[in-house]
Amino acid sequence: MHLPSQMDPNPWVQFQKWYTDAVQAKIQNPEAMTLATANLKGIPSARIMLFKGVELGGLTFYTNYRSRKSKELESNPRAAVIFYWPALNRQLRIEGKIKKVPPSNSDEYWNTRPRESRLNALISPQSSLISGRKELEEKLEIITEKFQNKEIPRPAHWGGYVLIPHRFEFWLADPYRLHDRFCYVQKLKKWRIVQLAP
């Protein structure tokens, strides 16, 4: 059994504690999170993304700005993410609004990516129809030769987003399904913690 008093009053502090626990437990890809978006018709879609840090008041991730997820985020700038760490019997849900990160932040992260990842980002028309893998391999061969021994600039269609939360929900599993759920909601820039039924 867990009590609200055992949770930090600041959800960011609690998030960092849980995330650090997941890293220290050597969970495979502790930074993996499911990102859920929806278009203006309310049709949802979800995919696994990689959390890249807390900055600009939220959680950052990077992607192709021409992808389906980006088109949905541009038209409906709200999203939710879920971290699930089964080895720790923990799940974390975060909901909030979405903003693009400044180009300088995208440039900084772009330059930390492996060279192969940067080349792939240049040639992949993410979420668009292609004739087959061969099409991508041919483009990759051309672009690899073009940038041989050269810096690879970040394309304008690739960069980051930040999810600025207004709600956190920390979930702890119970073997008999009497799970603990602690929800942080923000009102007037202050966080309030409540407990929800499983």
Task: List C-alpha distances in Å: 182 to 36, 85, 138, 190, 197.
Answer: 21, 16, 50, 16, 9
Looking at the DSSP bridge assignments, the partners of residue 144 are none
Q: How far is it, in rounded angstroms, from Cα 54 to Cα 60? A: 6
- The identity of residue 1, as a single letter, is M
- Token readout for 116 is 């192969």
Angle at 19 between CA 14 and CA 170, to 5 degrees: 50
Strand segments (E) across the chain: 32-38, 44-50, 54-55, 58-64, 78-85, 90-100, 158-172, 180-187, 190-196
Catalytic-residue membership of 181: no
Number of helices (H), then strands (E), belonging to the chain: the values are 5, 9
Q: How far is it, in rounded angstroms, from Cα 117 to Cα 52? A: 15
| Active-site residue (options: 93, 167, 177, 192) | 177
Active centre residues (catalytic) = 177
